[in-house]
Amino acid sequence: MKFLCHNIVVLIQSVYELGIEPAFWQDCPKSQPPASEVPLIMGF
Per-residue model confidence as pLDDT tens digits over 1-44:
888 899 999 998 998 898 888 777 766 666 665 555 556 565 54
Enumerate the H helices of the chain as residue ranges. Answer: 2-18
How is residue 42 annotated by DSSP?
A: -
15 touches 23 (CB < 8 A): no
The number of beta carbons lying within 10 Å of the beta carbon of residue 6 is 10
What integer pLDDT is reported at residue 6 of this predicted model?
94
Measured in residues, the chain has a length of 44
What integer pLDDT is reported at residue 3 of this predicted model?
84
What integer pLDDT is reported at residue 40 of this predicted model?
58
What integer pLDDT is reported at residue 35 of this predicted model?
58
Mean pLDDT of the chain: 75
What pTM was computed for the model?
A: 0.47
